[in-house]
Amino acid sequence: MKLEEPVIAHPHDAPRPWPWWPPAKPVVREPAGGYSRPIDSSQLDLAHGVVLYLDGISVSFDGFKALNNLSLAIDAGELRCIIGPNGAGKTTMMDVITGKTRPDAGTAFFGQTIDLTKLTEAQIAHAGIGRKFQKPTIFERHTVFENLEISMKADKRVRKTLFAKLSSEEGDRIAATLGQIRLADNAKRVAGELSHGQKQWLEIGMLLMQEPKLLLLDEPVAGMSDDETERTAELFLSLAGQHSLVVVEHDMSFIARIAKKVTVLHEGSVLAEGTLDTVQSDPRVIEVYLGR
Closer residue to ligand ATP in complex, CB, 88/285: 88
Closer residue to ligand ATP in complex, CB, 87/274: 87
Rounded least distance, CB 280 to ligand ATP, Å: 18
Rounded least distance, CB 32 to ligand ATP, Å: 31
Rounded least distance, CB 117 to ligand ATP, Å: 17
Say what angle helices 226-239 and 196-208 make with each other, to 10 degrees. Answer: 10
| Binding site residues, ligand ATP, CB under 6 A | 61, 66, 84, 86-92
Q: Are 177 and 111 spatial neighbours (Cβ–Cβ below 8 Å)?
A: no
Contacts of 6 (CB under 8 A, 6+ apart): 15, 18, 137, 138, 139
Closer residue to ligand ATP in complex, CB, 147/200: 200
Closer residue to ligand ATP in complex, CB, 77/85: 85
Closer residue to ligand ATP in complex, CB, 42/86: 86
Query: CA 292, CA 289: separation in Å to the nearest integer?
Result: 6
Rounded least distance, CB 65 to ligand ATP, Å: 8
Closer residue to ligand ATP in complex, CB, 43/58: 58
Closer residue to ligand ATP in complex, CB, 189/250: 250
Rounded least distance, CB 270 to ligand ATP, Å: 13
Rounded least distance, CB 73 to ligand ATP, Å: 19
Q: Are 258 and 265 spatial neighbours (Cβ–Cβ below 8 Å)?
A: no
Rounded least distance, CB 223 to ligand ATP, Å: 15
Total residue length of the chain = 292
Query: CA 55, CA 29: separation in Å to the nearest integer?
Result: 20
Contacts of 85 (CB under 8 A, 6+ apart): 266, 288, 289, 292
Say if strands 64-75 and 214-218 run parallel, antiparallel, or are unpaired: unpaired
Q: Are 48 and 57 spatial neighbours (Cβ–Cβ below 8 Å)?
A: no
Q: Are 134 and 219 spatial neighbours (Cβ–Cβ below 8 Å)?
A: yes
